[in-house]
Chains A and B, each alone.
Chain A
Amino acid sequence: MRSLKTIRAGAGVLDGSAQAADVTLDADICIIGTGAGGAVAASIFARSGKTVVLLEEGGYYTSADFTARERDTEPRLYQEGMTRTTKDAGISVLQGKAVGGTTVVNWTTSFRTPEDVVDHWHKKHAVGGFAYADLIPHYEAIERRLAIAKVPYDSLNANNRTLYDGCKKLGWEVDTLRRNVFGCLQSGFCHLGCPVNAKRSMLVTMIPDALDAGARLLFRARADKLERAGGAIARVRGTLLDAEGRSATGKSFTVTARRFIVSGGAINSPALLLRSGLDSGGLVGARTFLHPVIGSSALYDEPIEPQRGAPQSAASHHFAHRGDEMGFFLEAAPWYPGLASTAAPGYGSSHADFMRQVAHTATHIAIGIDGFHDDLPGGRVTLRSSGAPLLDYAITPKMWSAFRFAQKRLAEAQFASGARKVMTLHERPVVLEGKLDEAAIDAARWEIGCVPVFTAHQMGGCPMGDDPAVSVVRSSDLRHHTIENLHVIDGSVFPTSLGVNPQESIYGLSHLMASRIAASK
C-alpha cells in the first residue's frame, strides 16, 4: 500500500522555506500551480515518463494540520490569508492557496460542465478544439479516481434538506449532488481541509500520483516571471517564502524546462502572464468571472446545526436560464463561527443576537451565472505596484436586478420548507415573518458595502478559443497562440462562467488536454 505520509516525506518534495541557497531545477515540463488543473496534468505527464517540476506558492499542509479550527487553517489555506477582495471591496474572494489548491478547501460539489455551456463556447467563442463527447471519457476517469458519487437524500443535513424540500414543494427542479469523497465521516469541515482525507482532493490523489511517478514539487515558491529566449519560454524565476508564506526568505528559484504549464487558477494565472509581459493585446485578465453569490438566512424551529454534515449536497438549477436576465442556481452554505460572523449583519448586540440563533439557522445561497450576456462581461485582473493581482469586477445593474429576484426565490424556498423567519444578509437586514414581502426586498439597499457578496468560483482571464483576436490559448491543447512551449491549464481558460461548481470541469479539461499534450511528442 502506498502511504501519503511516505510520499510527503519523499526526496522529491522540496520545502522552499527551508532552502539555504537559491534553487535551480530543470525538467521536461514545469507546472506552476498544484490545484485542479496543475495536479491532474502533473499526474498524467509524470506517468507518461516526462520529468516534471511542480511549483506551489502555498504550503504543503496535510490532514495533521487540519484541526477543524478556523483560526489554524483559514489564514494558511486561502489566498491573501482570506482577505482577498475585488478592487472596490464589493466582493469577498474565497480561493485556496496550498498544495492541492482550492480543492483542499472546497465543499466537494462535483458537476461535469453542462453540455449547453460547451455548445455556447463552440458557437460564440470559437472553441473548436474538442467536442463535448471528447470530454466524457476524461470525466469518467476522474470520477473513478476521485470516487465521485451522488449522495442519497437521506444523507442530507438539515441545511441542505431544507433547500431541497423547499424547492420540491414549489415544483422547482432540485437534486442531490455528487461529491468527491470516500469514507466521509460527515464532520462538515471540508472548508478547513478534510481532517480525515475522505475528501479526494488533489492533495491526496493526483499530487501523490505525480510524486510517486517521479515528479518533484517545490512549495513555498512564488512564481514571479516567465522569461523568454527567442520565441519560447526559457525559464521561470521566483521567490522562496517563509514557512507561513508571509514574507520572502531572500532566496530565489529558477526552473528551466522544455514546456511550461501555467495552472495558478483564475486571477493568479493572468497575473503571472501580465508580470511576464504576455498580455495578448489586452485579452489576458479580461473576462474574469466569479459566480457572485448572495445569501439568505432562515430561522427554523428544528435544530439546523449548519456546521454538521456534508456542507453542500443539494442544488437547484431551476433559475439557471432566464433569457435576457442573469441566471443563478441555488445551493446551501455551511456556517462556521468566524465565517458566519462576517456574513451576519450589523455589530454589537444585534449581531450577537443573530449569532446566538445560528444553531437553528439555515443559510442558502444564490450563485449568479456571469459571462453569458453582453452586459455581464466579468472583471479584469490587473497588477498592483508590487506585482500582486488586483481584480476589478463591477456588479452591474443587471446583476443587482438578478440578486433582488434571487433573494425573493430564496425566501420562497425557505418558507416552503418551514422557516419561521427569513432574513436577508443586508447590513440592515430585511426580516420577513412567515411570508414573502417582495416590496421589502426591493426596498433594501442593494449597493456595495450594504449587502455581502462573495465568490468561491473564479473562472476566465486567459480564455481558450481558435481566434487569437479574442482568446489567449487555443482550444485544441490550451497552448498559447504565439508561444509554442507555453500552455495554460486551469479554470482561467473558460470563456464564460460554467453555471455549476467548477472543480470537475477543470479536472476533466485538464485530463483531456494533458493527455493530448503527453501524446503529442
Chain B
Amino acid sequence: MSSVESKVAAPTTSRRRVLKLGLAGGALLLLGGSGLALYPPSRAGGAPTAPLLALDGRAFQVLVAVAARIVTAAGADPVAIAHGVDRALSYALAETQSDVRALLGLFENALAGFVFDLRLTPFTRLSPSAQDAALESWRTSRLVVRRTGYQALRKLCLASFYVQESSWPELRYAPPSGLNAAAYDDPEIGTPEWIEAQNKVRGS
C-alpha cells in the first residue's frame, strides 16, 4: 500500500468510509478523464482495426495494453479483446461508457501512477512485469474505487475473450448450434388443455 493510500483508507471499511471513497473515486475518474490527453501515443501500438462504438482511440490503446496482461490464455488477441469490450460497452449507459474511458485514462495517467505507486511512466509504456505490478496495486488497493476499477476492466476483458468460440476448446466447451431450428411454435404447449388435445389426437 502506498503512503497516500494509507492516509486515505481506514483499517476497516465502514459504510461512511466507502461513501467517502466513492466521492474520492469520482475525483479520481475526473483526473483520469483529463489524463489521456497529456501523453503521446505509446510505442506499443494497439490501434483499432474497425470503427469504435464506445471508446476513443486513446482509451482503446490503453485497453489493449491492459487486456494483454489480464488475458494470457492461449490464443488471446488483445486488440480483438478490446474490440469486444468496445462492443459490449456500446450497450451500456452513456455514463458507464464515460466512466470506463476515464478509468482507462487513470490507468495511463502518470500523475495518478506517481500518487499511488510512485511511478511516472504511463501504463502503456511500462514493461510487462511493471504493468503486472500496476495491476496488482489496483487489485489489492485499500481504495474501493481502485479495486472496483480493476474489477471492471478485468471482467470486461475476460468476458470479451471467453465469449469467443476460439477460447472454448481449451475449456472443453462446445455448445450446440442450430437448436432453435426445432423450436416449438405453439404458445399453448404444456397446458392441461393442450396435453388433453394431444392425447385425443393420438387416440383417434
Contacts and interface: CB of A to CB of B under 8 A. Distances in A.
Interface stretch (B39-47, B56-64, B84-92, B107-115): B84-92
Nearest to A303: B172
Contact of A187 (B135, B176, B191): B176
B15 A396 contact: yes
B186 to A, nearest CB: 5
B92 A64 contact: no
Interface stretch (A13-21, A159-167, A201-209): A201-209
Nearest to A349: B72
A322 interface: no
Contacts of A344: 158
Nearest to B152: A89
A506 to B, nearest CB: 20
A88 B144 contact: yes
B180 A63 contact: yes
Interface string B8-21: 00000101001100
Interface in B114-172: 132, 135, 139, 144, 146-148, 150-152, 154-155, 158-159, 161-165, 167-168, 170-172
B187 A64 contact: no
Interface string A497-518: 0000000000000000000000
Contact of A449 (B150, B161, B191): B150
Nearest to B186: A1
B70 interface: yes
A386 interface: yes
Given A189-B175, A355-B170, A388 B95 contact: yes
A318 to B, nearest CB: 30
B71 A187 contact: no
Given A342-B159, A349-B72, A352-B72, A89 B132 contact: no
A337 B173 contact: yes
A88 B72 contact: no
B180 A88 contact: no
A31 to B, nearest CB: 19
B186 A4 contact: yes
B91 A185 contact: no
Interface residues of B, number: 63
A209 B187 contact: yes
**Interface centre among A64, A83, A197, A208, by most B CB within 10 Å?**
A83
A448 interface: yes
A250 interface: no
A195 B148 contact: no
A5 B152 CA distance: 39
Contacts of A74: 163
Contacts of A197: 183-185, 189
B51 to A, nearest CB: 14
B148 A89 contact: yes
A245 interface: yes
Interface string A147-179: 100000000000000000000000000000000
Contact of B173 (A181, A307, A427): A307
Given A341-B161, A352-B73, A80 B191 contact: no
Contact of B144 (A69, A356, A358, A448): A448
A447 interface: yes
Nearest to B53: A246
B93 A198 contact: no
B94 interface: yes
Contact of A200 (B144, B154, B155, B190): B190
A232 interface: no
Nearest to B161: A341
B148 A342 contact: no
B203 interface: no
B22 interface: yes
A188 to B, nearest CB: 8
B50 interface: no
A449 B158 contact: no
Interface string A37-79: 0000000000000000000000000011111111100111000
Which of A339, A352, A447 neighbours the largest number of chain B CB atoms within 10 Å of its CB? A352
Contacts of A337: 162-163, 167-168, 171, 173
A4 B158 contact: no
B96 interface: yes
A394 interface: yes
B176 A246 contact: no
Contacts of A145: 191
A317 interface: no
B159 A88 contact: no
A481 to B, nearest CB: 31
A450 interface: yes
Contacts of B18: 88, 394, 448
A144 interface: yes
A386 B98 CA distance: 13
Contacts of B139: 347, 427
A384 B173 contact: no
A425 B183 CA distance: 36
Given A204-B187, A341-B158, A244 B91 contact: yes
B91 A76 contact: yes
A81 B92 contact: yes
Contacts of B70: 347-348, 351
B151 A89 contact: yes
Nearest to A193: B180
A358 B173 CA distance: 9
A340 interface: yes
Given A2-B187, A337-B167, A388-B95, A68 B158 contact: no
A4 B72 contact: no
Nearest to B97: A83
Contacts of B171: 337, 355-356, 358-359
A83 B13 contact: no
A132 interface: no
19 contacts: A2-B187, A4-B185, A68-B176, A71-B84, A71-B164, A81-B89, A89-B151, A183-B190, A208-B187, A244-B90, A246-B91, A340-B162, A352-B72, A355-B170, A356-B170, A427-B147, A448-B144, A449-B146, A452-B151
Given A80-B96, A196-B183, A340-B162, 4 more contacts: A75-B90, A338-B163, A342-B159, A352-B170
| Complex A-B, nearest 4 residue pairs according to Cβ-Cβ distance, in ascending order | A81-B91, A182-B190, A449-B147, A147-B190
